Amino acid sequence: MSLAEVPNFDERRSNTPEFDRTPPQDLVAEQSVLGGMLLSKDAIGEVVEVIRHRDFYRPAHELIFEVIVDLYGRGEPADAVTVSAELTKRGEITRAGGAPYLHTLISAVPTAANASYYAKIVRERAIARRLVEAGTKIVQLGY
What's the CATH code of the domain at 66? 1.10.860.10
Distances (CA, A) of 1 to 4, 7, 10, 12, 13: 8, 11, 19, 18, 21
What's the total number of domains in the chain? 1
User: Does 82 fall in a domain?
Assistant: yes
User: Does 13 fall in a domain?
Assistant: no
pLDDT at 3 over 60: no
- Per-residue pLDDT of 51-91, as tens digits, reads 999 999 999 999 999 999 999 999 999 999 999 999 999 99
User: Does 14 fall in a domain?
Assistant: no
User: Does 15 fall in a domain?
Assistant: no
How many Å apart are CA 30 and CA 134, to the nearest integer?
Answer: 23
State percent of the chain over pLDDT 70.
87
Whole-model pTM: value is 0.82
How many Å apart are CA 51 and CA 63, to the nearest integer?
Answer: 14
User: Does 86 fall in a domain?
Assistant: yes
How many Å apart are CA 117 and CA 8, to the nearest integer?
Answer: 44
Find the domain containing 35 and state its range.
Answer: 25-141
